[in-house]
Structure 1
């Protein structure tokens, strides 16, 4: 079931990112693999490629909105390469990924260069789904894009608009056009931080990313895995129009996932988790609240008649009430049933 969920999750990701694509385009001049960010998100990219008789994975190449960077310098060897991107943790709305079904190891905590890693978990790494890219020339460019066909300038402006909202400076449309109201808010932000009025947009994006990350730490819902195994997790809570459940978040041993990055509403929140072991799956032992879950990534409104909608019913555990609109919930080995007790 765990392998099936992994396949379905990655398949769902491919469907979910129909409006956020990685589009290949050839480039001229010296060799190298160039990545361009035509989205409103700060993207961190990793690439996989053949290296001699082995294989290397390198990351992270940081791509502020509206910029291009060389992720792999030198003349490229034509053939299949691999690409994965993730949004900066400063962005709200849950983690955004650009990838595919080919799993490679990455270091989620910082820059890395890995040569043919045989076992992600044994090396303190985590697997991520990369997208294969068929490179046919010694120089190649890939564009990260959203549904809007933005130029690099529009992408930079849209990124500024998004970060201004997430940093709590000013809210407005993310349309790629900086108006007088937004420019005035930027000037106020620069004065507040003691920055020069002629601060470049590139530096401004860095300052706003830091401000957005600092703001996000004070609110939201975080799940942490304190077991020695991978955990698949989901949450349930009362939304504006009634009950909802969401999942799946894959959390490696010792890792955490930020599942809600805005101030929490209300006091009732619930969690569900399945821990993978060689002998089977283990679910939470003290769980009694029924909600719907899907086999792939899901967001479900309501909690009744799950099977009628091709979902299944799972028992969630109630969390403690949030404190100051923030909640951190930790999964421990003792919280799970015996292996095999919940096999389907």
Structure 2
């Protein structure tokens, strides 16, 4: 199962919608003195870069990129050759964690800034493995990579769209995210500045920081979070009844000791279900007290309905019922005792 999901690191892990958030297929030349990263999305992105140093790969993170900004992630002069790039969305954003990366696994410190030579065993060093995208840099003076989404934003439009997204996620105003600041958005910004007792002269950069903090504070009080209390990696999925009927979604990869926020809006209804597979050298372990059948896919999936899974090229899996949410919030923890003995994968 793990091999079937390796490509998940190429795309964003957000499961609310299927969006084409991707890095351009080739790097573009820029004017920065070194390796410059530009954020042409409406999301705040934290980036990490890797480059060959001696016989190993040095990895540095995190460089925060506000929407519509560029920063030098690796000062010049650059050594032409393969470098590595990974990006993750801010936890302030709704819709689950977003990632921009690839299949080359390197170690990162998910908790804060770091600079390290990526070891062969991330977990043994208290680190987390993430999939980086190889970038073939061919110039020594400067190089630029753009983070993009479906909309082909200019830097100015990306900044405006980022403000609109954060105003929505901070609960100030909901509206279209189109990259154009009109009367409605300006009024919302003024309302937020007054609410936080901030001057009208507050810069866009500071405004984005304040909005990110407000969105994070708001998001902590609602939603559905899965936590892995085992010593192994867990792949997880959820199921629930939506306004359109039963649905199942996955996969979320949760490292040992980590958590994943799978729904970041207030929970509706009381019936929620979870599925998990634990990877171990001896085989795969699934939840032992699971009896509710739902469909799951071999790759990232969002499936409507829970019947006739195989007819839709899915498979049937047994999910466990969770406790009812409390105040529209739910945290579910996976423990070693929750899983069956390991089963050997079929060859």
TM-score, scaled to structure 1: 0.95
Residue 126 of structure 1: CA displacement? 1.1
| Residue 197 (structure 1) aligns with | 200
Residue 239 of structure 1: CA displacement? 1.1
Whole-angstrom distance in 2 between the partners of 1:256 and 1:19: 23
Write out aligned runs for 1:13-28 (5 A): 18-22=20-24, 24-28=27-31
Whole-angstrom distance in 2 between the partners of 1:62 and 1:19: 17
| Residue 104 (structure 1) aligns with | 106
| Residue 141 (structure 1) aligns with | 144
Write out aligned runs for 1:64-83 (5 A): 64-83=66-85
| Residue 295 (structure 1) aligns with | 298
Residues 311 and 191 (structure 1 numbering): CA distance in 2 closer, same or farther, change over 3 Å?
same
Match of 1:94 among 78, 93, 96: 96
Q: Give 5+ residue unaligned stretches, structure 2.
A: none
Residues 13 and 220 (structure 1 numbering): CA distance in 2 closer, same or farther, change over 3 Å?
closer
Residues 342 and 333 (structure 1 numbering): CA distance in 2 closer, same or farther, change over 3 Å?
farther
Residues 29 and 108 (structure 1 numbering): CA distance in 2 closer, same or farther, change over 3 Å?
closer
Cα deviation per residue 1:81-133 (whole Å; 9 max; x = unaligned)? 11111110000011111111111111111111111312101011111111111
Residue 68 of structure 1: CA displacement? 0.4
Q: Give 5+ residue unaligned stretches, structure 1.
A: none
My pick for the range that moved more, 272-281 or 48-57, is 48-57
Residue 145 of structure 1: CA displacement? 1.2
Residue 194 of structure 1: CA displacement? 1.0
Residue 74 of structure 1: CA displacement? 2.0
- Asked if the contact 1:44–1:63 (Cα under 8 Å) also holds between the matched residues in 2, the reply is yes
Whole-angstrom distance in 1 between the partners of 2:182 and 2:21: 26
| Residue 233 (structure 1) aligns with | 236
- Asked if the contact 2:161–2:180 (Cα under 8 Å) also holds between the matched residues in 1, the reply is yes
Match of 1:308 among 311, 315, 319: 311
Residue 19 of structure 1: CA displacement? 4.8
Residue 340 of structure 1: CA displacement? 1.6
Match of 1:245 among 248, 255, 270: 248
- Asked if the contact 2:12–2:21 (Cα under 8 Å) also holds between the matched residues in 1, the reply is no
| Residue 9 (structure 1) aligns with | 8
Cα deviation per residue 1:216-256 (whole Å; 9 max; x = unaligned)? 00000000000111111000001111100000101011000
What is the alpha-carbon root mean square deviation over aligned residues?
1.7
Residue 17 of structure 1: CA displacement? 6.4
Whole-angstrom distance in 1 between the partners of 2:10 and 2:322: 31
Whole-angstrom distance in 2 between the partners of 1:36 and 1:263: 33
Match of 1:42 among 29, 41, 44: 44
1:128 aligns with 2:127: no
Whole-angstrom distance in 1 between the partners of 2:163 and 2:12: 26
